[in-house]
Each structure stands twice: as structure tokens, then as C-alpha cells.
Amino acid sequence: MALPTALSDYVKKIGDSAKAIVVGMGVTWRYMVRPKEIITIEYGSKNRAPTKRYIPDRHRGIHYLETEKCIHCHICEKACPVDCIEMDGSREAFEGSWQGDGTFMSRFTLDLNKCIFCNLCCEPCPKECIHMGQEFDVASYSRANGVKNLLTDLPWSVDDRARESEALELIAVVEVEAKERKKREREAKKAAKEAEKKDNDGDKAGS
């Protein structure tokens, strides 16, 4: 004789709940007898790192930068859908800069409070110098600590902001100087060509 629908559903739910309890307790008992497989690295005052590696190679964790390869092209900054990347620098050397590939940087920050870890900043990079790493813990006591300075791998600090202000002033000066220097070089090159042309014309006229 078949059970009424309501009663059969009730019995089924009891069975599902019992099964879930058995599965959950099975995981608990397994970790009790095989503690080396514990996934939780830190809990309370205890810190036990697992011997097994659980984070995959392509895990989209916190970003890091190979500064020496960066060409400061701003492609990652433009590709970011939430505008969480900010960068400043110059092609001209200035005091206190971080040197990339043919460029000098004063700022390269990423706001982890806004980042959606989409990997769109890494994929178009022509030098493959910005990566998403294995680090995953973004917890902090302050939102300000969520802004990472990729040039130092540390939170963007008050001192960094002060250095950035000074760097922007230096960048403005060195770029004006570089522009004037290049202008003088072009004028000198042009004058040399004109003088050479006159000499050639004089030689032709004399012959």
C-alpha cells in the first residue's frame, strides 16, 4: 500500500537530513584520523598549514607585478571594468622612481576593495608582467589597507601618497626639460643639415 504523498515527502526529508548528517560527520571523522588533510590553515589560536596544496596554479588571487618588465602602457588600467588600477610615471628618469622597461614609475596601485578578480588586467598585458597570484586573504581592519602598491607589494600608505605628490612635481619638471632638450636637438640637427647643404652648394658653384 502506497503512503500518502505528504507522508512520503516527510519521510524522504528525514532520510535526506540523516544522509547529510552522515556525510558531514564522515568528513569530520576523516579529518580527525587524518589531520594532514586539514584545509583550514588558521582557526582561533591554532595555525596548522596543510601538507597538501589546495590552491590551483591558475587561482585568481591577489595581484603582483614584475616591475622590471612593465612598459607603463596603461593597457591594464584601461581594461579594468571597475577602474581599480591607478598608475603614474614618465619615460624620463626622476628621483625616487621604480624602473620598468624603458619607463620610470611613481605609482602602480590596485584597489582590492573594488576589484572583481576578473583577470582582464592580466590577459591584454603585452609584457605579461601583471599576474594574479596564490595569495587570497584580503581581510583588513581598514579599507585603506585594501589598496595595494604593486611596486612594493605593501598597502598604499600615507608616506606613499606624499612621495607620489613629490614625484608628480618632479615628472612635470623632467618632462618639460626633456621636451626642451629634444627641441634643441632637432634645431641643431636641422642647422647642421642646412650648413652641410650650403657647403655642398658652394662646392658645386666653385667647380
pLDDT, averaged per 10 consecutive residues of the chain (207 residues), comes to: 70 88 84 69 56 73 96 95 95 93 96 95 95 89 93 94 93 91 89 80 63
- Structure-block grid coordinates of residue 129: 608582467
Supply the pLDDT for residue 68: 96
147 assigned to some structural domain: yes
Q: Do 37 and 100 belong together in one domain? A: no
Which pLDDT tens digit goes with each residue over 165-201? 999 999 999 999 989 998 998 988 888 888 877 777 6
Q: Which residues of 29-52 are buried (b: 16+ CB within 10 A; e: fewer)?
A: eeeeeeeeebeeeeeeeeeeeeee
Q: Do 30 and 98 belong together in one domain? A: no
197 assigned to some structural domain: no
198 assigned to some structural domain: no
Supply the pLDDT for residue 37: 65
Q: How many domains does the chain have?
A: 2
Q: Return the SS3 of 151.
A: coil
Q: Do 71 and 128 belong together in one domain? A: yes
**Residue 121's CATH number:** 3.30.70.3270
Which pLDDT tens digit goes with each residue over 137-153? 888 889 989 999 999 99
Alpha helices for 91-157 (secondary structure H):
none
Q: Do 88 and 36 belong together in one domain? A: no
Structural domain range at position 42: 25-52
Supply the pLDDT for residue 56: 80
Q: Do 31 and 74 belong together in one domain? A: no
